[in-house]
Structures are given as C-alpha cells and as structure tokens.
C-alpha cells in the first residue's frame, strides 16, 4: 500500500510538471531593403506635381472584423462605389501611402517638406532623391493596379519562457520583427496544441494592390458611462470599451517590375487596465482606463514568406474570443503576429 501511494505521487508530479520546451525554432532575418528607401537626403526641397487618375492607383480602403468564428474563406472587397465618389479619397490615400513608404521618417524633419492633393494632382515637395522615388512608387501603383494580394494573419499568445523560438529577432522602427519562411510557421503550429502557446487564425485577406486591410481580434466590455434623469428616476447610459489587437496590413510591389512585395504592418494593442467606481450622490459611475501600445514595421516578402512582429502583451486577453488565455495572469505572456504572403494574382 505504501508503494502504491508513492506511484500516485510520482504520477501527480509528472502531470504537474511544465510542458517541455518547443523544439521548433524560427530563424528571423532582417527584411531586405525596400525599393523606395532613400539614404541621401541632401539638397534643397523642390516641388513636383503628378497628374494621375484615381482608378490608376488604389481601391477604397475597407475593414473586416474577425469575431472568433472559424473560417477558411477568402474575403474580397472590390471598389463598388462610382469613381466620382471616391476619387479624391483615393488620391489622398495614395499620398499617405507615399509618405509612409518613401523616406517615411524624413517628412516631419523639415517644415518645407510636404505631400498633399490639389484637385486631380498629387503635389510633393522634398529633396530630388526623394522625389525620384515618389515618381517610381506612383509608376509602381499604376503598373500593379489590377494586382490582387492574398495575405494571411495569425495571432500567437506565447509565454515568455517559449520566446527562445524567435531568438535574435531584428529591431524595427517600432519594436522587433523579421522575415521567416512559411515552412517554419507551418512546423510551429501543430506543436501549439500540446503547449501553452495558443494561435488564432483569421480569415484570409485578399486586397487590391496598395489597399489597406484591418483585422480586429478583441472583446467589448459594457460599463455605465452616465445617467439620464427622468424626474426622480435615473436611467443608466451604457457604453462599450473595446480591448484586444488591431492589425493593419498593406502590400505594395517592391518596384514596378518586382515580384516581391513591401508589406507594411502595424499592430495596436488596447488593454483594459482598470475600472474605477465613482460614487456621485446616490449612483455610481464607471470610468475605464485603457492602455494603448503599438509596434510596426515594413517587410519585403517573396512567395512563401511571412513577417513576424513581436507586439506588446495583451494583459486583458482573457475576454478575447470567449476566454483566450484562460484565467491565469497575462503578465508573463507576449503577443506574436505573423503575416504571410499567400498568393498574388
């Protein structure tokens, strides 16, 4: 009998032990330079005007919200509105895209540098080297105006103990991230089900060239924002606070004749940090405190490649997708976003 209890204790200890570390490791590489990067910013600013038709550049932006229901389908949203209604918006979106891809950190360094839309023209004022790349990007948008890019976004919730699978992650403009092969991602996913790593796969995004896609993975929490007085009766006014992860992606060909794509990815994390109860006379107000953090980067991807971005931790992940993360504290976990270049048409 004594030996029987010893066996049970050994079995219990084995069951309570931490899962073995993952054997699969990602090998992130720094992204290749973008075709629109500029290293020489010397010279006096000049002004150039580019007359383009809206239909030659970008389709209208759109958003899609992933609500947790499994889906393997592809979402395609073509421009359905008449060109007259979105023409100015398309030019403005193209101007923002140019500012974000061509020497993105240089526009704010000098008040004489600017890019804006005037009637049916994009007007850019910068040094000659930058303006040359602006023209090259506009030609790229025209050359690929009929191109469709399918991207796949995955959300990983990873304990810090397992972050060795992404060791040597290169530094980005905002955070850490790099380029890996899709084969490495596919080898990692089957092993997540036996470990503490959890993965959420969103629907595929099929975007027009240069079009912005947004994926939101999160939860909404109701709270009492105020009260409406109806005589002696106070009716509570309910509002919602959204927490979770918002992922923005946009793919642009890395040059007019390139088969590789510059994928601009940003991740914004909104965390419900606390809810303060405020007692006012005979009723209570709720004041939520939301913490917002962000990471972003640009990656040059080829076929069967993916971008890995280490995002800020989501501490209030417990409510996302009906309990993702479980009841444990999320202070020892990190968020890993993977964006794959699936197909180009």
User: Is 3 contained in some domain?
Assistant: no
Residue 344: per-residue pLDDT: 82
Residue 320: per-residue pLDDT: 47
The answer to pTM > 0.85 is no
Determine contact, residues 245/217, Cβ cutoff 8 Å.
Answer: yes
- pLDDT tens digits for range 61-114: 444 444 444 344 333 333 444 434 446 777 888 888 899 889 888 888 888 889
- pLDDT tens digits for range 263-282: 999 998 887 777 788 877 77
Residue 134: per-residue pLDDT: 93
Cα–Cα distances in angstroms (integers) from residue 345 to residues 32, 42, 140, 254, 304, in the given order:
22, 39, 16, 15, 14
Residue 195: per-residue pLDDT: 62
User: Is 300 contained in some domain?
Assistant: yes
Residue 239: per-residue pLDDT: 84
Residue 156: per-residue pLDDT: 81
β-partners of residue 180 are: 306
pLDDT, block means (10 residues), the chain with 345 residues: 44 48 73 86 90 72 41 39 54 87 86 87 92 93 87 82 75 87 79 65 83 82 78 78 85 89 90 77 78 88 88 60 40 78 82
User: Is 112 contained in some domain?
Assistant: no
Which residue range(s) make up the domain with 286? 62-79+146-344
**Sheet bearing 121-126, strands edge to edge:** 46-51, 121-126, 114-118
User: Is 17 contained in some domain?
Assistant: no
User: Is 131 contained in some domain?
Assistant: no
User: Is 52 contained in some domain?
Assistant: no
Residue 194: per-residue pLDDT: 55
As for how many domains the chain has, the answer is 1
Structure token pair of residue 128: 């000659």
Residue 265: per-residue pLDDT: 92
Residue 183: per-residue pLDDT: 86
User: Is 137 contained in some domain?
Assistant: no
Task: Give the position of tokens 């399918």.
Answer: 150
Residue 128: per-residue pLDDT: 93
Structure token pair of residue 294: 């962000």
User: Is 57 contained in some domain?
Assistant: no
Rounded CA gap, 141 and 36, in Å?
Answer: 12
């Amino acid at each position: 009998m004594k030996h029987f209890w010893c066996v049970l204790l050994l079995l219990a200890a084995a069951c309570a032990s931490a899962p073995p570390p993952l054997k699969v490791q990602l090998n992130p590489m720094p992204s290749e330079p973008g075709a629109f990067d500029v290293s020489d910013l010397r010279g006096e600013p000049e002004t150039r005007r580019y007359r383009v038709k809206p239909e030659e550049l970008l389709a209208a932006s759109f958003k899609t919200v992933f609500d947790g229901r499994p889906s393997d389908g592809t979402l395609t949203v073509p421009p359905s509105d008449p060109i007259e209604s979105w023409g100015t918006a398309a030019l403005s979106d193209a101007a923002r895209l140019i500012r974000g891809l061509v020497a993105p950190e240089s526009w704010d360094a000098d008040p004489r540098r600017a890019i804006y839309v005037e009637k049916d023209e994009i007007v850019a004022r910068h040094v000659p080297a930058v303006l040359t790349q602006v023209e090259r990007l506009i030609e790229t948008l025209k050359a690929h105006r009929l191109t469709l890019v399918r991207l796949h976004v995955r959300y990983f919730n990873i304990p810090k103990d397992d972050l060795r699978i992404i060791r040597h992650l290169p530094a980005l403009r905002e955070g850490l991230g790099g380029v890996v092969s899709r084969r490495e991602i596919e080898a990692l996913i089957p092993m997540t089900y036996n470990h503490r790593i959890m993965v959420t796969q969103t629907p595929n995004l099929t975007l027009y060239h240069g079009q912005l896609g947004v994926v939101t993975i999160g939860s909404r929490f109701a709270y009492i924002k105020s009260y409406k007085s109806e005589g002696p009766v106070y009716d509570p006014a309910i509002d919602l606070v959204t927490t979770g992860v918002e992922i923005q992606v946009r793919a642009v060909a890395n040059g007019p004749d390139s088969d590789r794509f510059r994928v601009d990815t940003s991740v914004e994390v909104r965390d419900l940090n606390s809810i303060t109860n405020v007692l006012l006379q005979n009723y209570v107000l709720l004041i939520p405190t939301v913490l917002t953090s962000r990471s972003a980067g640009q990656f040059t991807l080829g076929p069967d490649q993916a971008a890995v971005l280490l995002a800020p931790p989501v501490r209030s992940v417990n409510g996302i997708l009906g309990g993702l993360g479980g009841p444990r504290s999320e202070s020892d976990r990190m968020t890993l976003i993977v964006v794959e270049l699936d197909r180009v048409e």
